[in-house]
A = this chain, B = another copy of it.
Amino acid sequence: MASTLKRVSIVGSGNWGSTIAKIVGTNVLSNPKFDQKVKMYVYEEIVDGRKLTEIINTQHENIKYLPGHKLPENVVAVPDVVEVAHDADIIIFVLPHQFMANTCKPLMGKLKSDAFGVSLCKGFYIADDGKIDLISNMVRNLLKIECLVVMGANIAGEVAAGQFCEATIGSRNREQGLLLKEVLQTDFFRIVVRHDVEVVEACGALKNIVALGAGFCDGLNYGDNTKAAVIRLGLMEVMKFCDIFYKSSEHRTFFESCGVADLVTTCYGGRNRRVAEAFARALGEKTIDELEKELLNGQKVQGPEAAREVNIMLKAHNYENDFPLLTSIYKICVREIPVTQLIDNLRNHPEHL
């Protein structure tokens, strides 16, 4: 009978991964559809003289990346990603997107044929041929399994603390989406399932670019109206981008947590906004790289890289003029135009014609 129980595994154990492990580990205990053991892939490292996997498996706490939160004892840290994923039915990938390809490669050909993946990674992926693609497509292509996504306005620390919030599952297959909802939803982590997985995922990557625009407004001391206009024009360009590149047919998904909610939170808080504000205040005297080092203590902002990747796509299809905000933000980041030109480039936005 054990084989009919669905096994959920988690690949990644940073602060978002550990938060998800806490939720998943708790949920499977009370749901008879699922195997109670949840394996979590932990990139092995030594913390205070002990292996991190050992610490997690004895103290039931990821003391390095999510200190102060107990993990359920049925969450088992494992340092071998194949061991974690090979017998799983649902494999949740939650790690920085730049590590995804190398983490997936050892899993090629090793997974159950009816397993499905779930990506919580925000960002694009540059394929070997130089093409920009979504992380979920990389998983599909490399591992030959379907891949769902989960995006939303979810700061890990707040979710771990049980603060009420929402997230969006993107799943082409309704049944898989609803099964994943059972794995993730709690009374404080509320989930909506949408079918257009590419839109859900693209929102998560594109919002960081718009947040740079919002930060530029703050750094230039523009008022609330101007910032609201920049955020809204950003949303319009995100929607148009999805219409063109991902053939999104309906706009409802942009109203979900992955859309407006995550966008707005990122544009009012968040690292990208902060670095962009400092960049505008420096008026060309500092690069984004310099400010990142100065302000973020080793953390990275993803907006400038996403802006570059999106610009490659827009340029390749001769769409730069149709996306004046995304194009201007890219050009400001690489100092091709001064930040003070941002608004002038929006005065004849296609939205207002």
A positions within 8 Å CB-CB of B: 153-155, 158-159, 161, 163-166, 185, 187-188, 190-192, 222-229, 231-233, 235-236, 239, 251-252, 254-257, 260-262, 264-265, 268-269, 343, 346-347, 349, 351-352
Complex Cα distance A62/B226, Å?
24
Contact B239 A257 (CB under 8 A): no
B residues in contact with A262, CB < 8 Å = 228
Closest chain B residue to A153 by CB distance? B228
A-B contact list, 7 entries, CB within 8 Å: A153-B225, A163-B226, A164-B222, A165-B225, A191-B352, A254-B255, A260-B264
B residues in contact with A346, CB < 8 Å = 164
Min Cβ gap A27→B in Å is 15
Contact B190 A349 (CB under 8 A): yes
Min Cβ gap A19→B in Å is 12
Complex Cα distance A63/B288, Å?
44
Contact A232 B255 (CB under 8 A): yes
B residues in contact with A190, CB < 8 Å = 229, 347, 349, 351-352
Closest chain B residue to A347 by CB distance? B187
Contact B164 A224 (CB under 8 A): no
